[in-house]
Structure 1
Amino acid sequence: MVIRMKIIDVNKATKQENPHGVSVNKLYDTEHAQIMHMELKPGESLKKHSTPTDVCFYILEGKGIVEIGEEKEEVSRDMLIESPAKIPHRLMNEGTENFRFLVIKAPRQTESTKMM
C-alpha cells in the first residue's frame, strides 16, 4: 500500500460558506474530525452559536475575545481554548489587526450548528 503525504496551503484551501460572513478555509475534513482556518478582520465577529460536538480554537495570530457561555476572555497567539458541546460561544475581533485561528471539531460534527 502506498501512502501519500497530503499538504494543504491555507491560501489555496477550499473557501467555506458560513452564516457569519467571515473568511473560512476548510483545511481538513474527514469522517472523524474537521479543521477550519478562520480570519476575523478588525470589527468582525462570529454570531453566537452552539455546536453539537466539542470544539477547540487554536490562536495563530492577533488578539481577540472568546465568549463561551457566560465567560469572556481575551486570547492571543499560541493559546488553545476548549469549548464544550452545546454551550453557546463566539469569537470577536475588537482590535486593529487581523485575528486568525483554527477551529478543530473532533469528533466531526454530524448535526447542524444552532444559531442564537
Structure 2
Amino acid sequence: MEVICLNEIEKTVSKKSVQVKQVINRREVAVINVILQPGEVLPIHVTPVDVFFYVHQGKGTIIVGEEKQVVKQGEIVLGPKNIPHGLIASKDTEFSVLVVKTPNPKA
C-alpha cells in the first residue's frame, strides 16, 4: 500500500502558470492538484483523455464545454475527453482541485 500526503508534495508552476502538485503519474492515471489563488483562472484547454475534478478545498467555477458550474469542497465534476474545460477560483478563497486524467495522456 502507498499513502500519499498532499501536504508533503512540493508545489511547482505549470505551463499554464498556475501552482500544481504532481500527485500520481502512472501509465493508467495522472492526478494533479491544481491550486488557484482567489480570483485566479486556469485557462480553458482540451485534454485528449477523460478528466474528473474533485474539489479538495474552497469554492470556484468549473467549465466543461458550454456549461459552467459553481462547486465547493467534496464535489466532483466529470469532463469527457476532447471537450474544452477550465477552472476559476472564487474571489474570496483558494481553490484546490484534484484533476484526475485517465489514462495518463503523457504515458
Same fold, TM exceeding 0.5?
Answer: yes
Alignment partner for residue 106 of structure 2, among 90, 107, 110? Answer: 110
1:95 aligns with 2:91: yes
Match of 1:85 in 2: 81
Alignment of 1:1-116 (within 5 A): 5-110=1-106
Query: Once the 2 structures are TM-superposed, how far is the Cα of residue 66 of structure 1 from its aligned partner?
Result: 0.8
Query: Once the 2 structures are TM-superposed, how far is the Cα of residue 56 of structure 1 from its aligned partner?
Result: 0.2
Query: Once the 2 structures are TM-superposed, how far is the Cα of residue 11 of structure 1 from its aligned partner?
Result: 2.8
The separation in 1 between residues aligned to 2:100 and 2:80, in whole angstroms, is 12
Compute the TM-score of the two structures, normalised by the length of structure 2: 0.90
Query: Once the 2 structures are TM-superposed, how far is the Cα of residue 22 of structure 1 from its aligned partner?
Result: 1.2
Identical positions, percent: 34
* SS of 2:91 mapped into structure 1: coil
Query: Once the 2 structures are TM-superposed, how far is the Cα of residue 16 of structure 1 from its aligned partner?
Result: 4.3
* SS of 1:87 mapped into structure 2: coil
Which consecutive unaligned segments of at least 5 residues does structure 2 have? none
Letter in structure 1 aligned against 2:49: T
Q: Quick check: which one's strand share is greater?
A: 2
Letter in structure 2 aligned against 1:56: F
Compute the TM-score of the two structures, normalised by the length of structure 1: 0.84
Q: Which has the larger radius of gyration?
A: 1
Choose 78-87 or 15-24, whichever is displaced more: 15-24
Instruction: Give the number of aligned pairs.
Output: 107
* SS of 2:7 mapped into structure 1: helix
**Runs of 4+ deviating beyond 6 Å:** none
Which consecutive unaligned segments of at least 5 residues does structure 1 have? 112-116
